Structure 1
Amino acid sequence: MLHALTISRAHPPTLCSRYVKTYKYLTERAAGATLIPNIFSGFNGFPAAAARSILAAARILAGQFDPGNGIGVANTSLAFFDDRLFALGESDLPYAVRLTEDGDIETLGRHDFDGGLALTMTAHPKTDLQTGETFAFRYCPVQPYLTYFRFDAGVGGRKQPDVPIFSLSRPSLIHDFVITKKYAVFVDIQIAMQGPMEMVFGSGSPVGVDPKKTPRVGLIPRYAADDSEMRWFDVIGFNPFHSINAWDEEGGGDVVVLLATNIMSVEHALETSSEHIHGLVEKVRIDLNAGTVSRVPVSTRNLDFGVVNPGYVGRKNRFVYAGVGDPLPKISGVVKLDVGDEMGRGENTVACRMFGSGCFGGEPFFVAKNPKDTNGEEDDGYVVTYVHDEKNGASRFLVMDAQSPELEIVAAVKLPRRIPYGLHGLFLRESDVRRAGRP
């Protein structure tokens, strides 16, 4: 479900909650039942998984469901590029949506960029606001297991040809990535697609944790035409589900700095309860000439959903805003981290706002006061998020001063209902909303 809070000077705030009308949603609503299981749902062992898979196959053969029309629910994140607003889920193509003048949400349809995009796309594309280009990828259970691609800048930006990455030798769950001015950076973590035997003797899920696998960081030139220059570096114990940002280090050499949240105790990553999971934000330095990788923890707190000023995507940033897990996906507060050159080893929190006892929020998002001011301060803006009080049922949308040592709340909107915890959001200015209305 997609939730949109519209705030304008002309009208009172409006909250709208609508399901994205994907093919899966419409078909299953008409059938009155789930037809295709989610790969992340609980399978309770191989017999249950096999039964559900056989039942889904029978429904496909009977013509009740056509997987060629997509199997996703577009409920993971949102992206705005090509003057369109997309609801995204990595198991399908993007779905274009729009906000009406009265704040309602309309689904415009599944979008394949004039036939240029096939199968699926990541829920975490990266847009370089300096060039206007957007970069993305997809992972797949069959070869090529990873495919990288990009979209040109501007309205109607052409999707460039796929770049299959054949050096990924087995299917892996790669949820996120980052870009720099020179590279796209992927992390091949220990969460992978499982084969039939692993499913039989494991949880029954097609996704599982491989304790014998060594995680790797892979870098491919940003404008690569093939994967011939792809380089992989083993990084033991590095399992980020979400990457935050990356940049090319100045001063000579060929060094990339990566910010990401490492999942500690990755063996518990797919469990229903996340009490044993600790998200550790790390600053990773990759020296391509020396072939070395070094890592420094940025904070000892349990953090995830880290974001930066969107204008700094792909270039050096100083500040990160992240949610405090209690445990994740519940977020009990927001911290501001200083990841600059003078950061120490360990705790680099420079501002913090805890929501209070029994209050939990969603992913924070940074909103620049003036995104067109290239000479402005990086943290001149606001941190926004949704917060729910589990004691009295009240929910609010909070606006915090990003430069305040306490992330001072400067505005709050009382909401008529709760916004569910977890997953990702996006801020759009009024001009973006108007432009995103085209089919």
Structure 2
Amino acid sequence: MTEHPTLDRSRFLQGQYAPVTEEITAFDLPVTGSLPPELDGRYLRNGPNPLGLEDPGHWFLGAGMVHRVRLRDGKAEWYRNRWVRSRQVAESLGERWPAGPVHADMDFAANTHVIAHAGRTLATVEAGPLPYELTPELETVGPCDFAGTLPGGYAAHTKLDRRTGDLHAVAYFWGWDHVQHVVVGSDGTVSSTTDVPVTDGPMMHDFALTSRYVVLFDLPVTFSMEAASAGSSLPYTWNPSHQARVGLLPRTGASREVCWFEVDPCWVFHTLNAYDDGDRVVVDTCRYEGTYDMAVLAEQGPLTLERWTIDLAAGKVTQQRLDDHPQEFPRVDERVVSLPHRYGYSALVGEVSRDTVRPNGDFGDDAFANALLKHDLSTGAVEVHRFERDAAAGEAVFAPSSPGAAEDDGYVMAFVHDPDRGAADLVVLAAQDFTGEPVAAVHLPARVPLGFHGSWIADQ
């Protein structure tokens, strides 16, 4: 167990944001209910967990900490949480930095996502720093440039095409006049990169993938030299002069010119999924209407689940609202990424209970509400699984009951803050009985601060 001094109090260092100060290893975790024996693997989630006395100044900038629960044979064998050891984190903990490549002097304890590809477990972050490789026990191996084949920076979000084994990402960096589509093959090395010219240095947190296209979101949150000169820790601001548009980059072919389509001003952090439909591309996404203030993360919106249909023949984008619930962190069964999907899962935000609602899209002291959502996009039905009033449910991740199971035949997992214990549970819901009692709840020995994204990594 490694301890660290208590942090100063600030907005993102209080309440359910508050970082934990210890690294814990705990075995034979107590479970309420019965863990399905077919869940054989690891559930991991990443998020900011500042250490030291200095306020990072923004929720997105705290040093990454990865949490992991190992499930096997109907048991929760162990839980670990570990900081990602960038040079600064390692030195703060009195340890030797594992060393490795660094892009543009940007060494950061990756805090946004944690994925597995080609035998590596990678913690990722946006805006150019390299991902960090971790061992199965969450010890830091070091920064990863995919065996020297990555020419620049990397990205927070990736999409795996399970048919080809290729891992796709769209990287951006303030010093570039482009964004870069990066493909990492099943052998763990970069097989191709494509530069896409853009102006103003837009933030591209996420993208979408279809069988034929990479879907790019060039929206009016852009790099601001003025904000950087003023000392902003996250110098990306709303730029009303930057035309909002969505682009289709062909995945193959001799000419890979992007076809751009203008849309109304808005902001998108995360996409649910996308797929080809004849001469159209369908993209489901969580959309913030109007302006978005990256420095505030509050009172934005309205925030809704939308379907964007990009019609190449007509040269336009049609937007359809699918659900009015304020929601974020949308996920699908990873096996259908880039293919037509029926189901999606997301976390309710803003709304606290049936009787108390915060402003739509308000990332306040309790950014996540006490509920998860399941969408049947074929029928339009929305199911809501509510936990107790003061609970907070994070991103929902789907795990199939078997490799060949049908979509939605499996389980939905999330970290849920238990206010009675002051600690987190890994809650397992049956996807086909979404509003029913949880199949199981693994009781962790510590609180898991509000964080970002995770993965279910099954043992094959």
Between stretches 79-88 and 136-145, larger displacement belongs to 136-145
C-alpha contact (below 8 Å) 1:263/1:269 kept by paired residues: no
Q: Which residue of 1 aligns with 2:10?
A: none
Q: Does 1:162 align with 2:193?
A: yes
Q: Which residue of 2 aligns with 1:135?
A: 168
Q: 1:74 aligns with which of 98, 101, 110?
A: 110
Q: Which residue of 1 aligns with 2:132?
A: 95
- Partner letter of residue 266 of structure 2? F
Q: 1:144 aligns with which of 147, 157, 177?
A: 177
| Structure 1: gaps spanning 5 or more residues | 32-65, 432-439
Report 1:12-411 matches (<5 A).
Answer: 12-30=76-94, 70-90=106-126, 91-99=128-136, 104-153=137-186, 156-166=187-197, 168-196=198-226, 206-223=235-252, 227=256, 229-250=257-278, 254-271=279-296, 274-326=298-350, 327-328=362-363, 329-340=367-378, 343=380, 348-349=381-382, 351-371=383-403, 373=404, 376-411=405-440
Residue 278 of structure 1: how far off its partner (Å): 4.0
Residue 277 of structure 1: how far off its partner (Å): 4.3
Deviation per CA, 1:341-385: give whole Å up to 9, x if none: x54xxxx41x210112100021110111112x1xx4311011100
Q: Does 1:426 align with 2:455?
A: yes
Q: Which residue of 2 aligns with 1:35?
A: none
More helix per residue: 1 or 2?
A: 1
**Which gives a bigger RCO, structure 1 or 2 (Cα 8 Å, sep 6+)?**
2
Residue 406 of structure 1: how far off its partner (Å): 1.1
C-alpha contact (below 8 Å) 2:262/2:316 kept by paired residues: no
Between stretches 235-244 and 182-191, larger displacement belongs to 235-244
Residue 201 of structure 1: how far off its partner (Å): 8.1
TM-score, structure 1 as length reference: 0.80
Between stretches 261-270 and 75-84, larger displacement belongs to 261-270
Inter-partner Cα distance in structure 2 for 1:143 and 1:419: 35
Deviation per CA, 1:23-65: give whole Å up to 9, x if none: 232245459xxxxxxxxxxxxxxxxxxxxxxxxxxxxxxxxxx
Inter-partner Cα distance in structure 2 for 1:15 and 1:276: 35
Residue 75 of structure 1: how far off its partner (Å): 1.2
Residue 199 of structure 1: how far off its partner (Å): 5.4
Residue 15 of structure 1: how far off its partner (Å): 1.1
Q: 1:108 to 1:292 in 2, by over 3 A?
A: same
C-alpha contact (below 8 Å) 1:145/1:170 kept by paired residues: no
Q: Which residue of 2 aligns with 1:52?
A: none
Identity between Structure 1 and Structure 2 (%)? 28
Deviation per CA, 1:219-273: give whole Å up to 9, x if none: 101136775x2111111033211111100014xxx2100011102353344305x
Inter-partner Cα distance in structure 2 for 1:331 and 1:94: 29
Q: 1:277 to 1:290 in 2, by over 3 A?
A: closer
Residue 117 of structure 1: how far off its partner (Å): 0.8
> In angstroms, what is the RMSD of aligned CA positions?
2.4
More strand per residue: 1 or 2?
A: 2
Inter-partner Cα distance in structure 1 for 2:147 and 2:232: 40
Inter-partner Cα distance in structure 2 for 1:129 and 1:222: 15
C-alpha contact (below 8 Å) 1:138/1:147 kept by paired residues: yes
Inter-partner Cα distance in structure 2 for 1:377 and 1:106: 35
- Partner letter of residue 338 of structure 1? D
Inter-partner Cα distance in structure 1 for 2:440 and 2:317: 43
Q: 1:405 to 1:75 in 2, by over 3 A?
A: closer
C-alpha contact (below 8 Å) 2:69/2:77 kept by paired residues: yes
Per the alignment, in what secondary structure is the counterpart of residue 116 of structure 1? coil
